[in-house]
Chain A
Amino acid sequence: EVQLVQSGAEVKKSGESLKMSCKGSGYTFTSYWIGWVRQMPGKGLEWMGIIYPGDSDTRYSPSFQGQVTISADKSISTAYLQWSSLKASDTAMYYCARHSGSYSIDYWGQGTLVTVSS
């Protein structure tokens, strides 16, 4: 059974750094793109970017390029999303998402809620 298990909720202050994780299991981690989707409170889904753990090829949405870093450690089947300096506007639910060969998202993590106070 394919599972994506994300790290727990975070409460941070503006300017702090954060690295969240998503551990994949039940499939060959290095053979699928895995990425991140943001959902701000009461708003829609926003695609942030993806990484191919097999070779670390990474793609970002123009809206998130330079704002976050996506990485992966294939030895432990885990993808990461990190910020160097959080802003209050980063408050959102973040979903980890496995992408199929045609870029649809066939499996989702349970979500990690990030709350950033100013």
Chain B
Amino acid sequence: QSALTQPRSVSGSPGQSVTISCTGTSSDVGGYKYVSWYQQHPGKAPKLMIYDVTKRPSGVPDRFSGSKSGNTASLTISGLQAEDEADYYCCSYAGSSVVFGGGTKLTVL
């Protein structure tokens, strides 16, 4: 069971949009509608941003959106803000277990 593949880093200027990809296989991302995304600031516990591919928990700004096509899921952050600078992790159900992506560092320029 391998980790999902994410770009190591992405960047964008305030107000712009960025998309973070998460590639798995038909045994995880492609096989289930159970992809979630987490934001982690340094020294803090992760925070759920997207679940079930596209759903946002209460309190998460609608600037955050999720999608999936085949074995690749994506997190899009529109209207970038300075506080969005963090590490982002995707996660997928993989049949009796769960697998995370390697993480992506988002830098707001």
Least CB separation from B87: chain A residue = A44
Distance in Å: Cβ of A82 to nearest Cβ of chain B: 19
Could you tell me how many residues of chain A have their Cβ less than 8 Å away from some Cβ of chain B? Answer: 24
Asked if B101 and A44 make an inter-chain contact with CB atoms under 8 angstroms apart, the answer reads yes
Chain B residues near A46 (CB-CB < 8 A): 3, 100
Could you tell me how many residues of chain B have their Cβ less than 8 Å away from some Cβ of chain A? Answer: 26
| Bound complex: CA A19 to CA B99 (Å) | 24
The A interface is mostly helix, strand or loop, or mixed, namely strand
A-binding residues in B (CB < 8 A): 1, 3, 33-34, 36, 38, 40, 45-48, 51-52, 57, 87, 89, 91, 93, 96-103
- The answer to whether the Cβ of A59 comes within 8 Å of any Cβ in the partner chain is yes
Asked if A62 and B97 make an inter-chain contact with CB atoms under 8 angstroms apart, the answer reads yes
A100-B51, A105-B38, A106-B51 known; A44 and B89 CB under 8 Å? Answer: yes
Distance in Å: Cβ of B8 to nearest Cβ of chain A: 10
Q: Which of A37, A44, A102 contacts B52 (CB 8 A)?
A: A102
B-binding residues in A (CB < 8 A): 37, 44-47, 49-50, 59-63, 95, 99-100, 102-106, 108-111
Asked if A108 and B96 make an inter-chain contact with CB atoms under 8 angstroms apart, the answer reads no
Asked if A110 and B45 make an inter-chain contact with CB atoms under 8 angstroms apart, the answer reads yes
